Structure 1
Amino acid sequence: MKTNQILVRYGELSTKGKNRSSFIGRLRDNVRQTFSDLDQIHIKAERDRMFITSDDEQELAQVIERLPYVFGIQSFSPVTACELDIEAMKKTAEAVIAKIEDTDKSFKVSVKRPFKEFPHEKPEIMKELSSHVLRVFPDLKVQMKDPEIDLKVEVRKEAVYMMAEVIQGAGGLPVGAGGKALLMLSGGLDSPVAGYHMLKRGVRLELIHFFSPPFTNDRAKEKVFDLAERLSQFGSSVKLHIIPFTKLQQEVHKQVPDNITMTSTRRMMMRVADLVLAETNCRAIITGESLGQVASQTLESMQAINAVTNTPVLRPLIATDKLEIIDIAQQIETYDISIRPFEDCCTIFTPANPKTKPKLEKVEYYENFVSFDELIEEAVAEREVIQFPRPKVNQFEDLL
């Protein structure tokens, strides 16, 4: 008896037509990258399912732990193999069901027998296995239609394969299948959740963060690094662009009345993002804005901010309330990082009474007193670019 394989079921990929192979290839590459640190992993992608195999039990446990975060997978099941012997099959069926926490459920045995030389017919196999399992797990109830537990048995020439546990995947599309976009990552709750939603739709991310030392410190930057690291765990690496934003932010506060500095600051961010986007082949800008949440997220504010760019601006959280965002942040494990008490550049210069309905012509009037072009180009040229996930450092390396 040996559990050394995982069967992966595609979700939305299964609805694709002639281009299905490109989606499957993308998923295969993402899975391979996710487990690039595991030496014994073998991946075989077929039209309707994928198989991940490893003879190392610890590696297989790592696969089961990480696979739920890879987009493009509907569900997966560990597969246990045993020899072609009815007694061995009974023990294997018992072991497979034992891994399911709650056995007070409906149950059936499904059998495929492509190896016709096996001496037991399908009805006999079903009877022998179900009788044995019911003796060991008396809480199970036989139900032939839509049972909660379906013990699938496949008799092949080389071995018998069984599975019953179904682990839910992340769903969605493989990251990269939907192109690439630039996420404005602030360090708060909203933008990582927005990034997560776009990853789920197959969009590969590049990240941009605006850093304003000495008003923001290295702990605020490290917080953003940790968020970027977390976003890189969903099947694709990401690059983070750290923009030195102090000069631009100070110039805005010199030239623009206090109550519209928030609008003008975000317009400068969009202009910077446009230049980075052009260099990275991204096709859209993503923000974590939710309608009406703060002064800069009213329709009037967003209209004034959008006016500086022709790039599509995607706002996946636009109709999501804060409690929903918090729930998702907790699910994807960004919440505890986001609530660390280190301010970003969006909060340090927040005016006491920001305009919720800024007039575009008024914002443009004050911005025209000075040319921001040189400062924008300088900020882009001096940015720091970091790849995530970061290489793991051996803390004892210096001692070797």
Structure 2
Amino acid sequence: MVNYDTVLIRFGELSTKGKNRKDFIGRLYSNVKYMLRNIEGLEFRKTYDRIYVRLNGADPEIVREKLQKVFGISSFSFTERVDSNMEAITGACLRIAEETDKKTFKMITRRHDKSFPLRSDDINRQCAAVILKNTDLKVDVHEPELSIRVEVQENDTYITSEKIKGAGGFPAGINGKVLLMLSGGIDSPVAAYELMKRGLRVEAVHFASPPYTSENAKQKVLDLAAMVSEYQGHLPVHLINFTDIQLAIYKTAGDPYAVTLMRRMMFRLAQAVAEKYGCLAIGTGESVGQVASQTLESIACINSVVTMPVLRPLICMDKLEIIDIAKQIGTYETSILPFEDCCTIFDPKNPVTKPTTKKSEFFEARFDWQPMLNKALEEMQTVITEYREEQEEFL
């Protein structure tokens, strides 16, 4: 019987990182260990182009589920580790062949240890010969039903017949920090996931308008942050009371420009928070044309109040694509709970879809908004969220 005792982890885009490769692999190694931290008995080892995890009896299905959430992994395999000699290698390959119900196979060998006496093709031929002699399997090098993979290292060889797709991307946190504008909706948690996938560490800012928005609405946002925090470790959420600013906007500008002015104020506050906490960009869950504040004219008008980059990972996705990802990462059911945020509570009937900077500045000149922003920043609260296993039961 095949003893799949070691997980072999392969890197993706990290292979192109040149001089930064060591840093990227180090971050990935730390992220893998963090993701598997609650599984007892595991042993970890990294080399130039692989990470190895000895299971020591741990449940492989739990390990599989966790590793598929680690950004930076191209693929991984559950392997049998054997000594680097042909008797052990052919024996393990034969065990895999004897236990399969497939009809055709192909050998794929990668010889990392160039001092090994046989070349990759020779290893393939010897293993295939043993399988052909002892089983009914046939060789098919073009479309095999079974691919047996052999990786020869200096002291050990790793053998598998399964290659599991990883999450891809870069290790979370390796490319700097971004401040995400996090609402309680479907889009922004998905944006957090996509930003993390590109190697960014995410902090979040959330705007609440008590008493118009409830404690349930705030807790919903914190729950969403905790869910996506699984992909990076923990996620700070900076909570800003937006009530006075929002009421002043409606009193000054009325209905059509209210959303535009609210978003401009939110972006100003977000930049101040980002600068305070060392974030190099602002992130949003905006998608072109989805709502009035996300037309190209609105985006340009709102964006003009900040100087730092604004990252919009969902900008060209349609709603169904975003919903699919939300369901995949487990945030969808929480996002649709009926607790409204400050934007939906004060939803205007006729929002302008083509606002101009000139007219926005005209309305802003009619009230003294800077002291209100300063007060909101002074009273800001921060909550550190972290993923909890029991949240899966809630979903």
- The answer to whether TM tops 0.5 is yes
What do residues 84-129 of structure 1 show as CA deviations (whole Å, max 9, x unaligned)? 668963674258x65xxxx557522345697769xxx844433223
Q: Is the 8 A contact 2:94 2:130 kept in 1?
A: no
- Structure 1 gap segments, 5+ residues each: 394-400
- Cα deviation, residue 310, structure 1: 0.9
The question of 1:344 aligning with 2:344 is answered no
Amino acid in the other structure paired with 1:165? E
Say whether the 8 Å CA contact 1:89–1:160 is kept in structure 2.
no
Structure 1 residues 30-78: Cα deviation after superposition (integer angstroms, max 9, x where no partner): 11222222342322222211112231323x4322111111111110001
Identity of aligned residues (%): 43
Structure 1 residue aligned with 2:72: 72
* In structure 2, distance between residues paired with 1:22 and 1:221: 37
- Distance in 1 of aligned mates of 2:337 and 2:303: 30
CA gap of 1:25–1:90, structure 2 versus 1, over 3 A, is closer
Please state whether the residue corresponding to 1:241 is helix, strand or coil: strand
Quote the residue 2:81 is aligned against: 81
- For 2:308 and 2:89, the matched residues in 1 are separated by 64
Equivalent of residue 105 in structure 2, options 100, 104, 107: 107
1:62 corresponding residue in structure 2 = 62
Q: Which residue of 1 aligns with 2:393?
A: none
Deviations 1:297-320 (A, max 9, x none): 112211221121111111122222
Q: CA 1:219–1:105 in 2, change beyond 3 Å: closer, same or farther?
A: farther
Q: Which residue of 2 aligns with 1:47?
A: 48
Question: In 1, distance between residues paired with 2:205 and 2:249?
Answer: 20
Structure 2 distance, partners of 1:230, 1:37, is 17
**Partner letter of residue 310 of structure 1?**
T
**1:129 matched to which residue of 2?**
131
Alpha-carbon distance, 1:141 to partner: 5.3
- Alpha-carbon distance in 1 for matches of 2:261, 2:247: 12
Q: 3-state DSSP class of the match of 1:259?
A: coil
**Aligned counterpart, 2:35:** 34
- Farther off after superposition, 36-45 or 291-300: 36-45
Query: What value does the CA root-mean-square deviation take over the aligned residues?
Result: 2.7
Per the TM alignment, residue 170 of structure 1 is displaced from its structure 2 partner at its CA by 0.7
Distance in 1, Cα, partners of 2:56 & 2:68: 21
Q: Kindly tell me: are residues 156 and 186 of structure 1, through their superposed partners in 2, closer, same or farther at Cα, counting changes over 3 Å? A: closer
Q: Which moved more, 1:37-46 or 1:384-393?
A: 384-393
Instruction: Tell me what 1:386 maps to.
Output: 383
Separation in 1, partners of 2:10, 2:291: 41
- Of stretches 219-228 and 63-72 in structure 1, the one that deviates more from structure 2 is 219-228
Matching residue of 1:22: 23
**Deviation string, structure 1 residues 143-176 (Cα, Å, up to 9, x no partner):** 1246453212457897664211111001111112
Return closer, same or farther for 1:390/1:86 CA change in 2, 3 Å cut-off.
closer
Residue matched to 2:3: 2
- Distance in 2 (CA, whole Å) between partners of 1:171 and 1:255 is 48
Compared with structure 1, are the counterparts of its residues 29 and 130 closer, same or farther at alpha carbon in structure 2 (3 Å cutoff)? farther
Q: Distance in 1 between matches of 2:163 and 2:132?
A: 19
Q: Is the 8 A contact 2:93 2:159 kept in 1?
A: no
The 1-side partners of 2:50 and 2:155 are apart by: 20
Size of the aligned set, in residue pairs, is 379
- Cα distance in 2 between the residues matched to 1:365 and 1:34: 51
CA contact (8 A) 1:186 1:224 kept: yes
Give the TM-score of the pair, scaled to structure 1.
0.86
1:308 to 1:57, Cα distance in 2 relative to 1, 3 A: same
Other-structure match for 1:398: none
Distance 1:182 1:154, change over 3 A: closer
- SS state at 2:68 partner: helix
1:93 maps to which residue? 96
Q: Distance in 2 between matches of 1:209 and 1:105?
A: 56
- Report the counterpart of residue 310 of structure 1 in structure 2: 307
Deviation of residue 14 (structure 1)? 0.8
Q: 1:243 aligns with which of 225, 240, 245?
A: 240
Partner of 1:397: none
| C-alpha spacing 1:148/1:22, structure 2 compared with 1 (3 Å) | farther
Structure 2 length normalisation: TM-score?
Answer: 0.87
Instruction: Tell me how far apart the structure 2 counterparts of residues 146 and 77 of structure 1 sit (CA, whole Å).
Output: 20
CA 363–21 in structure 1, closer or farther in 2 if over 3 Å, else same: same
Check 1:89–1:281 CA distance in 2 against 1; reply closer, same or farther (3 A cut).
Answer: same
Q: How much does 1:27 deviate?
A: 1.0
d(CA) in 2 for partners of 1:303, 1:153: 54
Moved more, 203-212 or 357-366: 357-366
Deviations 1:227-265 (A, max 9, x none): 212211224432111222222212222222211110111
Compared CA separation, residues 28 and 195, structure 1 to 2 (3 A): same
Taking the aligned partners of 1:130 and 1:222, their CA distance within structure 2 comes to: 61
Segments of 5+ residues of structure 2 without an aligned counterpart are 391-395
Q: 1:76 to 1:90 in 2, by over 3 A?
A: closer
